[in-house]
Structure 1
Amino acid sequence: MNLRRLLAGVTAPLAVLGTITTAGAGPAAAGAAPPRDSTITWKSCPEYSDDVVDWMGFRDKAWFRATMTRMDCGTLRVPLDYTKPSGRWITVAVTRLPATDQAHRLGSLAVNPGGPGGSGYLMPIDLIRPEAPTATLNERYDMIGFDPRGVGYSTAINCDDGEKPAAVGAQGLRGVQELPGVQGAQAKGAPPGPITEEDARQMYAQQVQANQQCAQTDPKFIGALTTGNIARDLDRIRIGLGERKLSYLGVSWGSWLGPVYRSLFPGKVGRMWVDSVAPPDPRMDAFEAGRAKATAMDFSRMADWMAPFNDTYGFGTTGAQVQASLVKLQEDLDAHPKQFTDIPMPMDGFVVAIAASQPSVGWPFAAQLLADLRDATGPTAPPTIQEAFEGERTPPPIGTPERDNRVANQAIFCNGDGGARDFDSAWAAYQDGLARYPVTGVLGFPIPTCAGWPLPVDHIRLRHNGGSLQLSGHRYESVSAYEWTGDMQDAVGGEVFTVEDDMHGSALMEPNCATHVVAYLTTGDPGASGCQGVPVPTGPDSTPPGEARLADTQSLRPATLAGR
């Protein structure tokens, strides 16, 4: 995700459209008489055009099509409300890649990419790409993907303004549910500079209106989009597969779904690994506070990294000097935003915060962008700033599967959020963050995402249960703060596996970590208590892996429905 989307990614308040879609059929009517068992109806898998396969990032089309040929695709009927099994039923879409070594098969491994609201339908194929360090999992496991209720090929609802949700992109698993939040002062044509209390109150009113409109589109369906119900759906999938126990691999919000499933269905879990661990109490106010603290810590790490390269960047020879210089740059840009003829919006202090909050793979590029922004005199933008605004992907071709669903994202968060939702509490916390964390504090939310959400909160009590569990936390990560890993262990048990990096979800992507994930899932023993993870760049000329430049800092947070 590039800087333009980060700055302008806020969506308008939702308009009520109320469209229901179901995988392979019409909506599950309340008066219908669906089967009251857990039978998965297997059918032909979707066929994707070459354009769609390219857009999804599968360059080896022959391999992708051969893998799709051996994949099973199906649907499962589940109660909308598990307390009312005689009422309305909906459809959950499921995929299965049978183990290639059936003689030594270990069972079924369900996978979830996070979100919430992320599609896991094709995640098994992502995990077993020939170049993927997790590819061997399919030798002994049936790989099970699924679209949670409200997402993709499962029964879903659309209550936005008609904008299509993003689809599974070329980054595959690396872009674990990148969703826009409240963005910078330039979004939606607002003037540059800090957010004022008047601005925030207007945002709050818009958020309340948008949340209430969306929730009332179909309150029974949207109210049933909860982590608990998705865990219950997952157990129906287990039964439909004929498995006594189900193993599980989840990332980001998937690290919340896994422990919830384990708590609700003790004894039904085989081996479970969750990466980039979510907090055990899904309060959005506490989440924002934890994330703000971790982001500020990573900014200090970036400043310390920049200091030895003062000849290149010119912000100081110590971490403290670099931080002080960037505070001044942010203040200067807020007071006097820079406008370039080839960039669609003025550059204010929020740009500094975005660049200063990057994971380490993006530090060389972000540091150079900051230096160029400081020194730029115009009228055109320096190359780094131009590059940050380039690379917008073309819209997905027709037939591209949904990558994430914004309505499900918002509903699952808000239906589980027991934190404060009033304006005064959020505004006070935002002001506190600005004071505590110069430069990065502005990235916090000045309003509660679930303001005005009218549906009841589904409180879930996590429990210690028997069974094997590995919790991999990333020591320096800001999206899922490392301290949450220990908090989750206190709540549910299991063993902590520490990844020495700051990259969200990298345990499945980095070979030196994925080796341990595979070892654990196949033998029950990860062989270590941690791994190095993604290395910190050695200097300004370091090339980040893949296409990494400025990363999205909004993962694992709800899609804010109103903003500046």
Structure 2
Amino acid sequence: MSITRFTVPLLAAAALLPVVPAVATAGEVAWQLCATVAKGWDPGDRRTECALVPVPLDYADPGGPKIDIAVSRIRATGARTGAVLLNPGGPGQSGLDMPRSVADSRAGGIGVHHDLVGFDPRGVGYSADIPCAVDVPEPDPGVPDKAKAREAAERAARANWRCVAAHPDFVRNLTTPTIARDLDRIRVALGEDKIGYYGVSWGSALGAQYRTLFDDHVDKMLLDSVMPPDLNVTAMDDGQATAGENTFHDFASWIARYDAVYRFGTTEPAVAKALLDLRAERGDVNGMLANPRREWAGLARQLAQIRDGGPISPESAKQPGRLGWDGEPHAFNHFQQTALLCNESPSPRDFETVWQHRLDRMKRLPVAGGYGLYEQLCVGWPLPARPWALTAGKSPLQLVGHTFEPVTPIGWAFAMRQRIGGDLMTIEDDVHGSLSALTCANVAVTFFDTGKTTTASCPGAPIPAP
């Protein structure tokens, strides 16, 4: 059966689904090479197998309509002891290729004794990918910022309303607890009493939710770049902007150490003032002031060139990992992300409040305050919020936080540990989900093999010199 048929509109797909057992077992799941069944898959990949696992559209009605969740795996290369499910985050991000990325990383040793298992969460990729898009055209450059923001928010809200109205039951069930229940159906389909889990970013929240609901079925769980224990997109924007503002001042301190190269000043305050003065003259440099450390050398050189009269590079002006009011994300299902966040965040739904929050944030945080991404998504969202209710468990839990990271600030990892337990390892870098790329990825391999956790600190990649 080709996986590609589940990219058709949801209602049509649901009508075509055959009658399936309430819970698929290991003997009922047909594994095939992904390259032979998944459209667009790398034809040279002979390791990764794919299958479809049926789950209820609504777990409150387990005998009702079903959808299929696309699952992938790379079998253990040595003496197998179990399986580790993987999720890269998002929400809205496909995870079907994550077994390959982990197998080929420095954490690849996890796959010696464990099957590496990925999946597309419902509403993403091959798992009943919901066909909803928000088309926000480029605004008239002469329109004031607030009017542009209002137009973008209202267009997005109208598109969201149309999609919710077309697929009400499906959208209502786009929540973290629902996807955690999908994970448990995958566990059963794998024939495992207990599963390991490795989640990054929003995948850490999914893992925490699974552990809350199914702790008895958790073997070991590792959560990297940890989300906060309570989802509120207003607080998320505040936390990310605060981390971004701190990054700006760290960047200014780094430039000051190399004044002989960049000539912005010899102290952090002097460099910060020089950069803000440059921004006042050239507003298009704002997206260059709070970027990851690995980009500092190139950005500092570009900023010095702009100060001296040179042009700005279009690539340098981009703010990696951030979206403005008119932005459009790529490589994941934008609507699924919006639905998950807004279905679960008790944040404002009206434009005026969200806009005022943005102005207040920019006043507190003049560099990064305007980078807010998430709160705007929920303007006009028509469904009520159902907040998370995460609790502690007894299964082995390793948390991983990144000291300088702006995407999931380190404080979120401490808050999550306080709520659900576990041990926290810190990585001295600002790179989102970088554990598998570092030498200390051996901590993950040891953890899944032995259950041994750590509270150690791990060095990240060094900051490049000029």
So what's the TM-score if we normalise by structure 2?
A: 0.89
Shift of 1:463: 0.6
Partner of 2:326: none
Shift of 1:225: 1.4
* 2:234–2:374 Cα contact (<8 Å) kept: no
Cα distance in structure 2, aligned partners of 1:190 and 1:20 = 38
Shift of 1:136: 1.4
Paired residue type of 1:536: I
Partner of 1:492: 420
Shift of 1:48: 7.3
Cα distance in structure 2, aligned partners of 1:358 and 1:80 = 40
Task: Kindly report which structure 2 residues correspond to 1:43-442, keeping only aligned pairs within 5 A, or say none.
Answer: 43-47=31-35, 65-67=45-47, 71-102=48-79, 105-129=80-104, 132-160=105-133, 188-191=138-141, 196-333=145-282, 349=283, 351-376=284-309, 381=311, 385=313, 388=316, 403-442=331-370
How big is each residue's C-alpha offset from its partner over 1:142-199, in whole Å with a ceiling of 9 and x where there is no partner? 11111111111111211126x9xxxxxxxxxxxxxxxxxx9xxxx8254289x63333
Cα distance in structure 1, aligned partners of 2:256 and 2:163 = 48
* 2:231–2:387 Cα contact (<8 Å) kept: no
Decide which structure has greater helix share.
Answer: 2
How big is each residue's C-alpha offset from its partner over 1:514-562, in whole Å with a ceiling of 9 and x where there is no partner? 121211111212455220122222x21xxxxxxxxxxxxxxxxxxxxxx
Paired residue type of 2:309: A
* 2:34–2:49 Cα contact (<8 Å) kept: no
Shift of 1:47: 2.2
Cα distance in structure 1, aligned partners of 2:358 and 2:412 = 21
Cα distance in structure 2, aligned partners of 1:65 and 1:285 = 42
Q: Could you say if the C-alpha distance between residues 96 and 302 of structure 1 is closer, same or farther in structure 2, counting changes exceeding 3 Å?
A: same
Q: Where do 4+ consecutive residues of structure 1 move more than 6 Å? A: none
Partner of 1:525: 452
Choose from 10, 16, 41 the match for 2:29.
Answer: 41
* 1:215–1:453 Cα contact (<8 Å) kept: no
Q: Could you say if the C-alpha distance between residues 148 and 446 of structure 1 is closer, same or farther in structure 2, counting changes exceeding 3 Å?
A: closer
How big is each residue's C-alpha offset from its partner over 1:411-450, in whole Å with a ceiling of 9 and x where there is no partner? 1111111122222322222112211222222222596211
Partner of 2:321: none
Cα distance in structure 2, aligned partners of 1:190 and 1:519 = 55
Shift of 1:292: 0.8
Paired residue type of 1:45: L
* 2:202–2:227 Cα contact (<8 Å) kept: yes
Paired residue type of 1:473: G
* 1:353–1:443 Cα contact (<8 Å) kept: no
Shift of 1:364: 0.5
Q: Which runs of no fewer than 5 residues in structure 2 stay unpaired?
A: 319-329
Partner of 1:13: none
Paired residue type of 1:46: C
* 1:353–1:442 Cα contact (<8 Å) kept: no
How big is each residue's C-alpha offset from its partner over 1:101-159, in whole Å with a ceiling of 9 and x where there is no partner? 23xx2211000011111111121111112xx2112111100111111111111112111
1:534 maps to 2:461: yes
How big is each residue's C-alpha offset from its partner over 1:216-249, in whole Å with a ceiling of 9 and x where there is no partner? 2311112211111110000011111111111100
Task: Kindly report which structure 2 residues correspond to 1:414-563, keeping only aligned pairs within 5 A, or say none.
Answer: 414-445=342-373, 448-511=376-439, 513-526=440-453, 529-537=456-464, 539-540=465-466
* 2:224–2:401 Cα contact (<8 Å) kept: yes
Cα distance in structure 2, aligned partners of 1:407 and 1:448 = 13
Q: How large is the RMSD of aligned CA atoms in angstroms? A: 2.8
- Secondary structure of 2:35's aligned partner: coil
Cα distance in structure 1, aligned partners of 2:357 and 2:92 = 27
Cα distance in structure 2, aligned partners of 1:423 and 1:491 = 32
* 2:181–2:210 Cα contact (<8 Å) kept: yes
- Secondary structure of 1:156's aligned partner: coil
* 2:234–2:375 Cα contact (<8 Å) kept: no
Cα distance in structure 1, aligned partners of 2:348 and 2:208 = 24
Q: Could you say if the C-alpha distance between residues 447 and 285 of structure 1 is closer, same or farther in structure 2, counting changes exceeding 3 Å?
A: closer
Q: Could you say if the C-alpha distance between residues 149 and 330 of structure 1 is closer, same or farther in structure 2, counting changes exceeding 3 Å?
A: same
Percent identical pairs in the alignment equals 37
Q: Could you say if the C-alpha distance between residues 447 and 253 of structure 1 is closer, same or farther in structure 2, counting changes exceeding 3 Å?
A: closer
Paired residue type of 1:35: P
Cα distance in structure 2, aligned partners of 1:274 and 1:531 = 15
Shift of 1:504: 0.5
Paired residue type of 2:419: A
Shift of 1:326: 1.3
Cα distance in structure 1, aligned partners of 2:160 and 2:241 = 24
Shift of 1:32: 5.1
* 2:424–2:454 Cα contact (<8 Å) kept: no
Cα distance in structure 1, aligned partners of 2:50 and 2:367 = 48
Cα distance in structure 1, aligned partners of 2:292 and 2:353 = 29
Cα distance in structure 2, aligned partners of 1:446 and 1:489 = 23
Cα distance in structure 2, aligned partners of 1:406 and 1:442 = 20
* 1:310–1:317 Cα contact (<8 Å) kept: yes
- Secondary structure of 2:154's aligned partner: helix
Shift of 1:89: 0.8
* 1:260–1:462 Cα contact (<8 Å) kept: yes
Shift of 1:34: 2.2
- For this pair of structures, how many residues does the alignment match? 447
Q: Which runs of no fewer than 5 residues in structure 1 stay unpaired?
A: 1-18, 164-181, 334-348, 391-401, 541-564
Paired residue type of 2:460: G
- Secondary structure of 2:344's aligned partner: coil
Q: Could you say if the C-alpha distance between residues 199 and 189 of structure 1 is closer, same or farther in structure 2, counting changes exceeding 3 Å?
A: closer
